[in-house]
């Protein structure tokens, strides 16, 4: 929608977004550096702090986030780090293999399936209000990748638990709120529990002309779920077989920052598998909290 329509429909947009959250509450791009992406960093004390503002959906798009499922695990033949075709409602070889393992009746197979489970990530446009370690980022629009922990903060702001709390639309220019991103290391892993939204305010105290300039800088989110950006089933299956059945490779530790989501998929018996538990990346205590059937497909709204 146009900027003028965005302002006019601010309240109704929030209502529709809230309805979508009610529907889903029960239920990566390819490798390489993307200069559109912003990521917080830790200071010398091991903590991280920044202030960001979540921005509305770009013109012509319905949702202010893109939802991506991916897999990241290590096997004898190396790492499997790929986006899952389940993101675009297609069969995925890892999901189908996990289904077979889960239903095999062997506890060891279930453990392998858990370690190969899907990771759920989101992408949103943000405006960087404050970035102490990189002040050159302040006042700029970026894409921000985040997981369940931060998404839950957004959900809690839109659907507060107590009656004396006012629900807000964090993605609204005028009635949203800055997000104070606070990161601590807990047991060696990034923890976002102290992060919080500030009071409602217009972004930057800007007038509509300035806000429209920000709006015009938003990056497309639907591009993340465009089918052309995903490998084919056959390509993923070939890579999966190479990882699971290949020769032993040196272990590479990979820090996991966010919760992962595990759902077993309908089997399609085409993926060959040698039962040998692969070496896995470290998984934080947060990642152990499996959320089965987490989030149904997002419905579109005007």
Residue 297 lies in a domain: no
Residue 45 lies in a domain: yes
More confident residue, 13 or 266: 13
189: domain CATH number is 3.90.198.10
User: Is 74's pLDDT higher than 90?
Assistant: yes
Q: Is the pTM of this model over 0.85?
A: no
- Tokens 């530790």 map to which residue? 253
50: three-class secondary structure by DSSP = strand
| DSSP element (H, E) containing 68 | strand 66-75
Provide the domain limits for residue 115: 3-288
Residue 116 lies in a domain: yes
Residue 254 lies in a domain: yes
Residue 136 lies in a domain: yes
Distance separating alpha carbons of residues 49 and 128, to the nearest angstrom? 12
Binning the chain into helix, strand and coil, the percentages to the nearest 5 are 30, 20, 50
Residue 299 lies in a domain: no
Task: Write out pLDDT tens, residues 16-65.
Answer: 676 666 545 443 444 457 899 999 999 999 999 999 999 999 999 999 99
Neighbours of 95 (CB within 10 A): 25
User: Is 177's pLDDT higher than 80?
Assistant: yes
Residue 209 lies in a domain: yes
Distance separating alpha carbons of residues 50 and 198, to the nearest angstrom? 12
Number of domains in the chain: 1
Q: In this structure, what DSSP letter does residue 114 have?
A: H
Residue 101 lies in a domain: yes
């Amino acid at each position: 929608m146009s900027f003028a329509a965005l302002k006019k429909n601010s309240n109704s947009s929030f209502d529709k977004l809230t309805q979508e959250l009610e529907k889903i509450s029960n239920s990566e791009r390819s490798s390489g550096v993307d200069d559109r992406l912003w990521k917080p960093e830790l200071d010398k004390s091991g903590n991280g702090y920044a202030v960001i503002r979540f921005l509305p959906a770009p013109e012509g798009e319905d949702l202010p986030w893109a939802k991506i499922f991916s897999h990241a695990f290590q096997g004898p033949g190396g790492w499997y780090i790929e986006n899952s075709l389940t993101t675009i409602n297609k069969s995925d070889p890892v999901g189908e293999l996990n289904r077979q393992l889960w239903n095999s009746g062997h506890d060891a197979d279930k453990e392998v399936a858990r370690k190969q489970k899907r990771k759920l990530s989101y992408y949103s446009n943000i405006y960087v209000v404050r970035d102490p370690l990189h002040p050159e980022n302040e006042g700029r629009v970026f894409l921000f990748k985040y997981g369940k922990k931060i998404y839950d903060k957004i959900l809690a702001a839109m659907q507060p638990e107590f009656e004396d709390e006012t629900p807000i639309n964090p993605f609204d220019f005028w009635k949203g709120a800055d997000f104070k991103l606070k990161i601590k290391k807990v047991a060696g892993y990034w923890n976002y529990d102290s992060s919080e939204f500030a009071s409602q305010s217009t972004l930057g105290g800007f007038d509509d002309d300035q806000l429209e300039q920000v709006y015009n800088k938003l990056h497309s989110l639907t591009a993340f779920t465009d089918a052309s950006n995903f490998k084919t089933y056959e390509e993923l299956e070939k890579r999966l077989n190479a990882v699971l059945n290949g020769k032993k490779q040196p272990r590479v530790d990979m820090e996991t920052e966010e919760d992962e989501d595990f759902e077993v998929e309908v089997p399609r018996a085409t993926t060959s598998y040698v039962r040998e538990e692969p070496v896995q990346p470290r998984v934080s205590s947060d990642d152990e909290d499996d959320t089965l059937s987490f989030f149904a497909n997002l419905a579109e709204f005007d």
